[in-house]
Structure 1
Amino acid sequence: MNTKPILAVNETPKFSQWLTLSIQHLFAMFGATILVPYLVGLDPAIALISSGLGTLAFLLICKWQVPAYLGSSFAFIAPVIAAKTAGGPGAAMVGTFLAGLVYGTVALVISKVGHRWIMNLLPPVVVGPVIIVIGLAIAPTAVGMAMNNPDGQYSTLHFSVALVTLAATILFSIYAKKILSIIPILAGIVVGYIYALVIGIIDFKPVLEAQWFEMPKFIIPFVSYEVKFTWNIFWLMVPVAVVTLSEHIGHQLVLSKVVGRDYIKEPGLHRSILGDGTATMISALIGGPPKTTYGENIGVLAITRVYSVHVLAGAAVLAIIFGFVGKITALINTIPTPVMGGVSILLFGIIASSGLRMLVDSKIDFADKRNLVISSVILILGVGGAILKLPIKDIEIHGMALSAIFGVLLNLILPGRQKVNENMFETDENRKTA
């Protein structure tokens, strides 16, 4: 791969060029970042603001050496919904903050003893099935959004919107070239929105009535809700954070190849993980979803060979500004549910398939009974929605978290465990990007 940059990591572009390049990164993350809060019932405007603030914090912690953008994490969709159901938005924010603390703790340990232990703790035979669970566990949500009208009843008209959106997203994913191939989600949403507008299921009036400047409804601890730690919230959110660490490692490995630097060593995996965790905690403090580095933005870097951190910082600033533009927020809120449902059908499937691809790329041998047992237990506990109720303080550990915990424990207990190497965290798609 040609990694010779058009703009180097610390090179500052001209202003006109800077704005254009930053908008590219904003569009790359936009569709997926607003989809997560849409699904979990949080404010998309706050998701944009928190992604911008989180990205700036990440860049600062990584000493302005790692060109990465942080958006909303799909891995936490089911846990955030469960946390909100259990204790309201405040509980979800407490859980999100705890997840960020896990990143910080892991970063501290890595800074002292290195990063090999986390790779051996979370090998592909554990991470792959858990990623499959993440995609499949929320599949009913996507299908329900695609088929039903606002009253929750089946509607052929609304389902047609989802199918048009899905078809457009698939076509953009397969046939689009260059930058357009990086934003199939956003492009699919636009096509679905236009179709929904044509058939008359969108009320554009709120956009016309919205103010240009509008303060989002931030969810602030001790102001919007009483901060209360519960073990149920802990077990809902924290185990998923452990699994998303492997996703972060994979992104850093791919980004290293794209840019031509070893980010695992310098500025160090501990710094990038700390940056990710800090972004997640910042998000929790204002009412946004957990954060993660975005593969879409890594794809933009690979295509353009513009690695400047100033461009990523510019995208972050634009995201913050967009979050305060009332008409943009109102426009996002007019997106019909089946449009998001159509996109989600493909997106959730891709999440599940990426877990399967990790197993294939890592050459996991399912003739080995050890691998078969670990993956089987993870899949059934996770997809089946198992709940472990402990007599201690009425603790409940739910499906996805429970499957991750059992996967880690089985990997540690069962004989025949093999050490993993860094390349095992790269998917086939990531290798193509790199």
Structure 2
Amino acid sequence: MREKPVLDIHEIPSKPKWLILSLQHLFAMFGATILVPMLVGLSPAVALMSSGLGTLAYLLITKGQIPAYLGSSFAFIAPIILVSQLHGPGAAMIGSFMAGLAYGVVALLIKKLGHQWILKLLPPVVVGPIIIVIGLGLAGVAVDMAMYENPGAPQAELIYSVKHLMVALTTLAITIGCTIFLRGIFSLIPILIGIVGGYITAYFAGLVDLSVVKAASWIEAPDFLIPFVSYTPNFNLSILFIMVPVAIVTLSEHIGHQMVLSKVVGRPFVEKPGLHRSILGDGVATMIASLIGGPPNTTYGENIGVLAITRVFSVFVIGGAAVIAIIFGFIGKISALISTVPSAVMGGVSILLFGIIASSGLRMLIDNKVDFSINRNLIISSVITVIGVGGAFVKIEDFQIAGMALAAIIGVALNLILPEQKAGKEANEKQNKVA
């Protein structure tokens, strides 16, 4: 029997609990959401705003039926950096907008043809390993944040720190302890407690610098990047080739998240409100982000992890987190305070939350009873995993398909090309007869 939710999708918590639960979702996502723009040279405050606006748009398009939070996508980090180097940051925003349009095209096709064709194109044997690749790909980010003083620096310039690692492990231990042992209201906010506990630990370890908070203004407009105001749009074909293929990865991630979220909440979101609405919401959120200078958005596994741990499914809690994120984007001191959270603290929490993403992919394979005694399934999952984690890429002049995008494309191709095989026992009997 499925465990009863603490708060169901349309239940409204009391105001104090509402604030605390929304803050937990905000803190669960903000480390990754802010890290992405820091890595690609965009404004973290704008990323906060765009995640909030995108999430509200998503909730509206999905009729308030799916409790999903959207934040900065890690899948677009490499493409944004590449396009920015070739054509400038404005061009990267144009590429993000086109990726969002690709979502819209897929959503229209699903609306017209139903969702079975895309599920056939991206079945669990393809999506599961891609989700695992995303989680394992983020694992390096989490570990770097936990171990190094300067996690965004080039590999040769990374500075290892035992102090940072101890703070990260302390944060992780607090988060795990709260998840397992706390009861009542405190059992609903293990991530938030872990971050606060890690922050206090980091403060006494001398890793927190509050001078930026003192210097910041209370009300401060983010550094928006707006087309025709901040830059003149450049519709270069190479931008399309670099950015849009990544949508295959994020579509796979999205479908995987919807399946995992359906399992967690106990509702068939792929059927109602429909995968077309969910994908359209994700695409619109990405387009909104691109119009104000934020990185592309995607549904967040970290927040699905929070839902799974707390069993608080209320869309009002998700919406509350989105509103707070928008407000925080305009409050200079709060944005500055968030920026003082050491990377080691976020690394400690991310070890758990990014691990949940990879585990969700594994869970998808198990829940869908993907049979690895069948060579076809074994080949598809193996190739996706090695190409994705290994970072393989194809590059011809300005045209490039890298990492997760390449893994997703090859996974889809193998799924379409390789012939169906019978289940393990029958296949083994056939092989024995041949022998």
- Structure 2 residue aligned with 1:281: 287
CA contact 2:51–2:322 (8 Å) conserved in 1? yes
Deviation at 1:277, TM superposition (A): 1.0
Give the TM-score normalised by structure 2: 0.81
- Structure 2 residue aligned with 1:339: 345
In 2, the alpha carbon distance for the partners of 1:78 and 1:124 equals 26
Aligned ranges 1:46-195 → 2 under 5 Å: 46-77=46-77, 79-80=79-80, 83-84=83-84, 88-150=88-150, 152-177=158-183, 180-181=186-187, 183-195=189-201
CA contact 2:131–2:256 (8 Å) conserved in 1? no
1:242 counterpart letter in structure 2: I
Provide the aligned C-alpha RMSD in A.
3.3
In 1, the alpha carbon distance for the partners of 2:284 and 2:336 equals 29
- Structure 2 residue aligned with 1:402: 406
Deviations 1:277-318 (A, max 9, x none): 1011111211223323346369659967774x5554444323
Deviations 1:38-95 (A, max 9, x none): 2441433222211221122223323445454333344445554555566554344333
Distance 1:336 1:251, change over 3 A: closer
* Equivalent position SS for 2:158: coil
Distance 1:298 1:226, change over 3 A: same
Indicate yes or no: 2:296 matched with 1:290: yes
Deviations 1:17-44 (A, max 9, x none): 3564255224223332342322441433
- Structure 2 residue aligned with 1:348: 354
In 2, the alpha carbon distance for the partners of 1:342 and 1:301 equals 19
In 1, the alpha carbon distance for the partners of 2:394 and 2:312 equals 48
CA contact 2:391–2:403 (8 Å) conserved in 1? yes
Deviation at 1:134, TM superposition (A): 1.8
1:72 counterpart letter in structure 2: S
Distance 1:233 1:403, change over 3 A: farther
CA contact 1:3–1:259 (8 Å) conserved in 2? no
CA contact 1:323–1:329 (8 Å) conserved in 2? yes
* Range with bigger deviation, 143-152 or 290-299: 290-299
Deviation at 1:210, TM superposition (A): 1.6
Distance 1:399 1:8, change over 3 A: closer
Indicate yes or no: 2:382 matched with 1:385: no
Deviation at 1:181, TM superposition (A): 4.9
* Range with bigger deviation, 298-307 or 140-149: 298-307
* Range with bigger deviation, 291-300 or 354-363: 291-300
Deviations 1:368-414 (A, max 9, x none): 11112212221222222212123xx6412112111111110011011
* Range with bigger deviation, 194-203 or 336-345: 336-345
Deviation at 1:254, TM superposition (A): 6.2
* Equivalent position SS for 1:159: helix
CA contact 1:32–1:186 (8 Å) conserved in 2? no
Deviation at 1:197, TM superposition (A): 0.8
Distance 1:44 1:27, change over 3 A: farther
CA contact 2:22–2:320 (8 Å) conserved in 1? no
Aligned ranges 1:347-386 → 2 under 5 Å: 347-386=353-392
Distance 1:233 1:166, change over 3 A: farther
Q: Which residue of 17, 34, 37 corresponds with 1:37?
A: 34
- Structure 1 residue aligned with 2:418: 414
* Equivalent position SS for 1:32: helix
| Alignment length (residue pairs) | 411
- Structure 2 residue aligned with 1:424: none
Q: Which residue of 232, 235, 248 corresponds with 1:242?
A: 248
* Equivalent position SS for 1:338: helix
Distance 1:232 1:402, change over 3 A: farther
- Structure 2 residue aligned with 1:425: none
In 2, the alpha carbon distance for the partners of 1:248 and 1:88 equals 28
* Equivalent position SS for 2:212: helix
* Equivalent position SS for 1:367: coil
CA contact 2:143–2:347 (8 Å) conserved in 1? yes
CA contact 1:124–1:359 (8 Å) conserved in 2? yes
Distance 1:55 1:201, change over 3 A: closer
CA contact 2:21–2:189 (8 Å) conserved in 1? no
* Equivalent position SS for 1:135: helix
Distance 1:399 1:311, change over 3 A: closer
Distance 1:4 1:414, change over 3 A: closer
In 1, the alpha carbon distance for the partners of 2:7 and 2:133 equals 40
CA contact 1:46–1:323 (8 Å) conserved in 2? yes
* Equivalent position SS for 1:71: strand
In 2, the alpha carbon distance for the partners of 1:82 and 1:165 equals 34
- Structure 2 residue aligned with 1:211: 217
Deviation at 1:330, TM superposition (A): 0.4
CA contact 2:131–2:252 (8 Å) conserved in 1? no
* Equivalent position SS for 1:187: helix
In 2, the alpha carbon distance for the partners of 1:325 and 1:303 equals 29
In 1, the alpha carbon distance for the partners of 2:116 and 2:81 equals 33
* Equivalent position SS for 2:71: strand
* Range with bigger deviation, 334-343 or 296-305: 296-305
2:294 counterpart letter in structure 1: G
1:103 counterpart letter in structure 2: Y
- Structure 2 residue aligned with 1:329: 335
Structure 1: gaps (5+ residues): 419-434
